[in-house]
Amino acid sequence: MSIFAVIDPATGHTLAEYPGASDAQIEQALAAADSAYRGWARGSTVAERAALAHRAAELMLERKDELAAIITREMGKPPAAAEGEVEFAAAITDAFATHGEEWLADESLAVEDGLRTFFRYQGIGVILGIMPWNFPYYQVARFAAPNLVLGNTIVLKHSEQCPESALALESIFRDAGFPEGAYVNVFASHAQISTIIADDRLQGVSLTGSERAGAIIGEQAGRALKKCVLELGGSDPFIVLDTDDLDHAVQHAVIGRMENSGQACNGSKRIIVLDAYFDAFAEKFAAAIGAQSYDAGDYGPLSSAQATKTLTAQVQGALDQGAELLVGDNAPEGNRYTPSVLTRITPEMDVYSQELFGPVAQLYRVASDDEAIALANSSPYGLGSVIICDDVERAERVGDRLEVGMVFINGAGIEGPDVPFGGVKKSGFGRELGRVGMLEFANKKLFRFAEK
């Protein structure tokens, strides 16, 4: 059987299979991307490439219904959320098109000797993107758009369960006018990925995925002396310090935990609540999580039978070790997993340091800001965080002490198409989105003019 297949998570039915690439196809992909870099990318302006990216964004919106239906089949995203993802991917692509010239403009440096000195930002060559299934369009947009506008070309290896979204994206970039070789999709095996990374025509690799894959790709990139960006897992804290609007806190904890049926890297996976609010919060939060409706499309099936098996085993392990479910039953029907709240978790339990990739919140009680910070920082991950507090200066002080890449104050889900994204610790390194993301794979070429 092919390793690339569409298996509908709602039914378990295999809907389509796609053959993996031959070694000759991998070679052709690299040759085409390298040639497009040397010809088209080096020979075009940022404005010209931005115009193509702008067109790609338009095409995403024109094809929204078709694109959304693909990911509902591939990974179970409910239709409204799938359409929302397409719109966000288009907005990201358009943000790079709109800001490309400004973000890539020469940057002069104030240097002690006063000589005219500046950075010019240019592409470096072919970049490999390795992408996960959980946001099939959004993840690719935030990698492909900045690199193409910058003047890199890309080889894209999507998740094995996303072959149709992978092909749909490749068509969009081609139909937008990007030439042959600028954006090449490959149905590569993991062994072929390793060959691509070692190839001298490749200049960088960006992986979004699990900690396990990150360690492997990081090692391969290091061995081949290639720059890499790793966007990995997370177990983000959602900290409730002080509020006169507990309903708002509960609403955002639900948004933070339930986004993408609980399968978001920066989902609010650990809800940490100060004593004074804990009992009232726990009651309202458990009720709100319990009220989530599969039929109304609040959440969809987990992405695959394997994902369901993994989550169920993790929760069962926690229950065996003494944790309790406030709501939920850890008894999925197919891949339909009832949203749950897990409490009475202690540091000795395995689940304490694990990422739960599904609609299961861990709920913790703490006695002080210091205790909330210590608990938040005890995770091996460091992606994002949310702090709920009416006193925003106190929230900022707490955020200042968190070992994370992002601090959202008083709201979950406030990402934006031009707002940088990324983490620290085992959540990886590097950033995507915004100017900082666009410069990850740039040659920061220094110009300096001597006095005559």
Q: Catalytic positions, please?
A: 231, 265
Report the residue number, 128 or 398, with the smaller CB distance to ligand NAD: 128
With b for 16 or more beta-carbon neighbours within 10 A and e for fewer, the 417-444 pattern comes to bbebbbbebbbbbbbbbbbebbbbbbbe
361 belongs to the binding site for ligand NAD (CB under 6 A) = no
Q: Mark out the alpha helices in 224-331 (DSSP H runs).
A: 246-258, 275-290, 305-320
Which of residues 41, 141, 145, 232 is near ligand NAD by CB under 6 A? Answer: 232
240 belongs to the binding site for ligand NAD (CB under 6 A) = no
Do the Cβ atoms of 270 and 341 come closer than 8 Å? no
Stretch that binds ligand NAD, among 11-19, 59-67, 225-233, 340-348 (CB under 6 A): 225-233
Give dist(CA 439, CA 446) in Å, integer.
14
**Could you tell me how many residues make up the chain?**
452
193 belongs to the binding site for ligand NAD (CB under 6 A) = yes
Stretch that binds ligand NAD, among 102-110, 155-163, 284-292, 443-451 (CB under 6 A): 155-163
Full DSSP string of 29-68: HHHHHHHHIIIIITTS-HHHHHHHHHHHHHHHHHTHHHHH
Report the residue number, 125 or 423, with the smaller CB distance to ligand NAD: 423
* Position closest to ligand NAD via CB: 209
Full DSSP string of 195-237: HHHHSTTEEEEEEES-HHHHHHHHHHHHHTT-EEEEE----EE
At closest approach, how far in Å is the CB of 345 from ligand NAD?
19
167 belongs to the binding site for ligand NAD (CB under 6 A) = no
160 belongs to the binding site for ligand NAD (CB under 6 A) = yes
Report the residue number, 75 or 342, with the smaller CB distance to ligand NAD: 75
239 belongs to the binding site for ligand NAD (CB under 6 A) = no
Stretch that binds ligand NAD, among 85-93, 113-121, 125-133, 385-393 (CB under 6 A): 125-133
Give dist(CA 428, CA 280) in Å, integer.
36
Report the residue number, 148 or 265, with the smaller CB distance to ligand NAD: 265
Closest by CA to 288, choosing from 247, 239, 319, is 247
Query: In this structure, which amino acid lies at residue 140?
Result: V
383 belongs to the binding site for ligand NAD (CB under 6 A) = yes
- By CB under 6 A, how many residues form the interface with ligand NAD? 29
Closest by CA to 354, choosing from 199, 235, 255, 259, is 235
259 belongs to the binding site for ligand NAD (CB under 6 A) = no
Neighbouring-strand partners of residue 218: none
Which of residues 9, 100, 132, 151 is near ligand NAD by CB under 6 A? Answer: 132
Give dist(CA 148, CA 208) in Å, integer.
18
Site for ligand NAD in 67-106 (CB under 6 A): none
Give dist(CA 381, CA 235) in Å, integer.
6
Which of residues 123, 125, 151, 234 is near ligand NAD by CB under 6 A? Answer: 234
204 belongs to the binding site for ligand NAD (CB under 6 A) = no
At closest approach, how far in Å is the CB of 115 from ligand NAD?
40
Burial of residue 205, with CB atoms counted within 10 A of its CB: 0-12 exposed, 13-18 middle, 19 or more buried: buried
Give dist(CA 329, CA 290) in Å, integer.
11
Alpha-carbon 59 to chain mean position: 22
Which of residues 195, 210, 410, 443 is near ligand NAD by CB under 6 A? Answer: 210
Do the Cβ atoms of 217 and 205 come closer than 8 Å? yes
Stretch that binds ligand NAD, among 103-111, 316-324, 341-349, 423-431 (CB under 6 A): 423-431
What's the longest Cα–Cα distance across the chain? 78
Which of residues 4, 88, 96, 133 is near ligand NAD by CB under 6 A? Answer: 133
At closest approach, how far in Å is the CB of 214 from ligand NAD?
7
Stretch that binds ligand NAD, among 32-40, 153-161, 178-186, 435-443 (CB under 6 A): 153-161
Site for ligand NAD in 320-359 (CB under 6 A): 355, 357
Report the residue number, 78 or 405, with the smaller CB distance to ligand NAD: 405
The residue ranges that bind ligand NAD (CB under 6 A) are: 130-134, 139, 157, 159-160, 190, 193, 207-210, 213, 216-217, 231-234, 265, 355, 357, 383, 423, 427-428
